[in-house]
Structure 1
Amino acid sequence: MLLVLSLITLGFIALTIMVQLFPASAIDIKFSREVQEHQNHFIDQAMYLISIPGYIPGAPIMIGLTSLVLFMFKYKKAALYVLFTMLAGVVSTIFKAIVNRPRPSDTLVRIVFKTTQQSFPSGHVLFYVIFFGFLVMLMFQLENVNKTVRIIVGGISLLMIFLIPVSRIYLGAHWFTDVLGGFLLGLFCLYLLSWLYLRKRAGKKEAPVAEKQ
């Protein structure tokens, strides 16, 4: 695992250097034009809907409701750690300020939905990898969760993780290297959050408090 984390870190550093040297590379432009090749109103709306949970107030509401549901079912530790996924916004803002890469220009790609802040890394991808990735991990760890619920929550979470990069590029909000950077940084943060959640549990799955009494 240490090797994987090292590769993720090195990959993110290399990508950061690359986007500073080449703010609008030929690879990014080509990738955006390929993703945006087929356009219509339905796809525009679908791609926007995929991105909505990553905006404010959607993201904090989704995190809060998820944490509340877990708390109501007595998964108190899981509920607390879900709240920690809000820190993805802080991490994203810090790296955006450091790299200070401008958003894609409407002279190079089609801008479906105009956004603010800097471009690298993608805050949406970073957040989705951390939040939905953590939910996937919880579905494997929490006891007494219905199998159907595990499949539905896990499936939707994985789908959102893999659709959000396409959504951000299609909307003209990010370059390919932005979403790749968000994915790598998200994986690193997800590992850290999951490690903190699991490390004191000595390999035991969390059961509802009521079940333990």
Structure 2
Amino acid sequence: MNKQRKLILISLLISGLLAFVLLTVFIVYMPLSSLDKNFSIAIQSYQGPILDPIMKFISFIGVMPYSLIMVLLTALLFFLFKLKREAVFTLSALFAGVASTVVKILVDRPRPAAPLVHVLEKTVQQSFPSGHVNFYVVFFGFLIVMMYHVKTIPFILRAMVITICILLILLIPISRVYQGAHWFTDVIGGSLLGSLLLSANSYFYFKVKAQEI
């Protein structure tokens, strides 16, 4: 990685970290804003028998233990196809859950509840940031990075995986708000935290890859 790219990456990381910190402070002092309520009302106005199962399925694959199984199986596949470095860095996605849980405990924001929203999915943990969004950005985001750079994998397969991963990353924030599991600022927080973790994971992945060349 040349100096210019490294400087750009560092600048983006600092900007993302600052944005996440400012959003966290905003949530602490204003746990329920009109922005959150209005966004939930707008998204949930589309609730119905057709979209309900689709939105539930999008979130379902991010629920424990299914998310854990998915990460382990993906890492195992990489390992079996002699992509050991990719397998190890795929496992690092498991730290996303640890990071979001720590922030959830510190911020301690309550989940959305009736009558403000229609809750389709009842959850236990605190609300900010969205653990689902954080995990999807880290895990599926890193799959996109690897599919783009690992040329030994057939192009068609890489293109399919990238397309599916992009769709899941884009749809998971909508799914969480649609089901009444999170507020708008929760999913933004999850996106920011996930982007920071993904950037760090990708940086070390390319650093190790460069050393092995």
TM-score calculated relative to the size of structure 1: 0.93
CA distance in 1, matches of 2:153, 2:212: 15
Counterparts of 1:99-138 in structure 2 under 5 Å? 99-138=107-146
1:76-101 residue CA offsets vs partner (Å, 9 max, x unmatched):
11011111111111111100001000
CA distance in 2, matches of 1:99, 1:127: 18
CA distance in 1, matches of 2:10, 2:204: 15
User: Which residue pairs with 1:16 in the alignment?
Assistant: 24
Counterparts of 1:165-180 in structure 2 under 5 Å? 165-180=173-188
User: Which residue pairs with 1:41 in the alignment?
Assistant: 49
Deviation of residue 59 (structure 1)? 0.3
Counterparts of 1:28-107 in structure 2 under 5 Å? 28-107=36-115
Identify if the C-alpha distance between structure 1 residues 94 and 135 changes in structure 2 by more than 3 Å, giving closer, same or farther: same
Deviation of residue 203 (structure 1)? 8.0
User: Which residue pairs with 1:189 in the alignment?
Assistant: 197
Q: Structure 2: any 5+ residue segments left out of the alignment?
A: 1-8
CA distance in 1, matches of 2:106, 2:97: 14
Q: Counterpart amino acid of 2:88?
A: L
Q: Counterpart amino acid of 1:15?
A: L
Q: CA RMSD in A?
A: 1.2
Q: Per the alignment, in what secondary structure is the counterpart of residue 29 of structure 1? A: helix
User: Which residue pairs with 2:4 in the alignment?
Assistant: none
Name segments (4+ residues, structure 1) moved above 6 Å: none
TM-score calculated relative to the size of structure 2: 0.93
Q: Per the alignment, in what secondary structure is the counterpart of residue 105 of structure 1? A: coil
**Overall identity of the aligned pairs, in %:** 44
Deviation of residue 2 (structure 1)? 1.8
1:107-140 residue CA offsets vs partner (Å, 9 max, x unmatched):
2011011111100000000000000000000011
User: Which residue pairs with 1:162 in the alignment?
Assistant: 170
